[in-house]
Amino acid sequence: MNRSSGILMHIASLPGKYGIGTFGKEAYEFCDFLKKAGQKYWQILPLGPTSFGDSPYQSFSAFAGNPYFIDFDLLNEDGLLEIKDYDSINFGGNVLDIDYGLVFKEKMKVLRKAYENSKSKNIEELKLFEEEEDYWLEDYALYMAIKSYFNLESWQTWDEDIRLRKPEAKEKYKKLLSDEISYWKFLQYEFYKQWKLLKSYVNNLDIEIIGDMPIYVAEDSADVWATPEAFLLHKKTLKPLSVAGCPPDIFSDTGQLWGNPIYDWNYMEKTDYKWWIDRIKQSLNLYDVLRIDHFKGFESYWSIPYSDSTAENGEWIKGPGMKVFTAIKDELGEVNIIAEDLGTLTEETIKLRNDTGFPGMKILTFAFDTDSSNPFLPHNYDKNFIVYTGTHDNDTVRGWMETTAPKDQVKKAIEYLQLNKEEGYNWGFIRGAWSSVADVSIAVMQDFLDLGNEARINLPSTIGDNWRWRVKCDAFNDKLAEKIYKVTKTYGRCE
């Protein structure tokens, strides 16, 4: 990656009238803003369909896209909707907040109408899409159709015959739910169609998309239901034997219990890591660069007994290491991957990252809790890193300075980065990242807008108020673009 910079801004957080950000007009306007600001990268969060808690890191599929991002106006242009079908719907009184309950209730009704209107249109294109994506689409559409039939309950609660995917049960539900299956395929067709048009527009501006891929998949997902042999599950009940998380640390006395099933890496190796190769290939069809979340899990992972209510009783187990990445490279060639190597780094994890050649990550708000040897301080960077002011899991710079950080860390940050209120603390942090030797620097959109922790998108290990932030409709203006371009140009990150 050449010396450059970018902005982290999730699709859901884009402005617009219909409850949640989409692949429509506002997304294209943001692309134009990135170009004016001299940015090379647009980083987004995972695009998968969200489940309980609305987290893009807990998805119903590692391959499917979130139908919430399908744009109504684009469907109108294609003759699948009339404006009256969606223009007066109430998606909540606050355009800066995503009401996921309303989005689910109202948006899916409109998309159902678009599906009904599509039945005599684009037949050949849809058929071709289904053939090209059959290796995951068939199972996903069947899974979602059955899930709807069982009132959206987890597949673990379904009738035993279909929970265990007995052939006669699968055939029964394919016949019973044939129209519902077609509906879920249609949603994926529209998602991919609209996304590819947007991505093409971005790439034509000489901007690349950095996408995010969680290392694990959700227990309630088409992936675990369709390929239980790829996970450590009980042979008869298909309940996980153990689940993923993080051990206790200074942030949590009981650790983090994520609840994702653990991969059966022996199975993965016996099948030449085909599942992972398919997943990486699909992701790199969606994105230009792929950030793999919790990269450490490939070196070793924290395995917690399924029945435990905290992460305290887990144990470290060795992961596949370079074997999985060698298999990926052998099949796909050189791949553009960023290793999310945050957390407690062991020598083994650092070696794995170095062996892959993937750039790691630095977070500037992590730099001030120790002394001058802190690896997140810019003077300790090597070039092969991506430096962030913060990510979706961190407070904004303003929120960190005003409420989150201890006073001694704020003092160190002011002294080290020579922060002052006239410039703006947020711009001082951006300057610190942009002036570093790291090949790429990225800041969340909230930091460019100098927003406080009311704009924080996620507080890890909490449920309820996360993933809801949306930007104001007039945020992407020329004045801000010029200011970003100036600091980008000053530190040699654009032409």
Q: Where is 284: in which H helix or E strand?
A: helix 274-286
CA distance 66 to 200: 19
CA distance 92 to 174: 36
Give the type of residue at 254: T
Q: Please pick, among 133, 293, 395, 447, the residue that the annotation labels catalytic.
A: 293
**Dihedral pair phi/psi, residue 258, rounded to 5°:** -80, -35
Distances (CA, A) of 18 to 14, 59, 434: 11, 22, 35
Residue 163: count of CB within 10 angstroms of its CB: 19
Measuring CA to CA, which residue among 439, 432, 357, 429 is closest to residue 398? 429
CA distance 52 to 45: 17
Told to judge if 293 belongs to the known catalytic residues of this protein, a careful annotator would answer: yes
Told to judge if 393 belongs to the known catalytic residues of this protein, a careful annotator would answer: yes
Question: Do residues 199 and 192 make contact, with C-beta atoms less than 8 angstroms apart?
Answer: no
Told to judge if 264 belongs to the known catalytic residues of this protein, a careful annotator would answer: no
**Dihedral pair phi/psi, residue 304, rounded to 5°:** -115, 135
CA distance 279 to 455: 32
Question: What is the Rg, in whole angstroms, of the alpha carbon atoms belonging to the chain?
Answer: 23
CA distance 64 to 159: 24
Q: Please pick, among 78, 331, 393, 402, the residue that the annotation labels catalytic.
A: 393
Q: In what order do the strands lie in the sheet with 315-318?
A: 256-261, 242-246, 300-305, 315-318
CA distance 332 to 285: 12
Q: Please pick, among 106, 139, 299, 340, the residue that the annotation labels catalytic.
A: 340
Catalytic amino acids?
Answer: 293, 340, 393
